[in-house]
Amino acid sequence: MSMPTQIPPEAQILQYMTGYYQLKAGPKSCHTLAKELQLQENELFRLLRAATALGLLSFNTDKQTYELTELSTILTEDHPRSLKSFSLMFGEESYFAWEIL
């Protein structure tokens, strides 16, 4: 199995965040998301577990897939009170703030 090409950290963070938008089409496995987003599967798995613990995603143990919850749908662009743009901007700004530490 080939490894994804190395991308800049800020692009990686945005790819993690846009994983939510990938799930908008329906449940997907960690493996499928990692391929679609060109991310390391092990790293993405940890992030998906954390998002599940926070209630942002749900995990179907039978199908081994993740899907959006009611809480995370506010991150989608078609939600009436969408926070998609804010979350992308905030994530990028936060990354740059922590990058210099």
Separation between Cα atoms, residue 58 and residue 28, nearest integer Å = 11
Q: Identify the residue with better confidence: 33 or 71.
A: 33
Mean pLDDT check: name the lowest of 13-17, 38-42, 48-52: 13-17
pLDDT at 91 exceeding the cut of 70: no
- The pTM (predicted TM-score) of the whole model is 0.64
| Beta strands in 1-101, from DSSP E residues, in sequence order | 57-60, 65-68
CB 27 within 8 A of CB 63: yes
- Cα distance between residue 77 and residue 74, in whole Å: 8
Highest mean pLDDT among 6-15, 16-25, 33-42, 68-77: 33-42
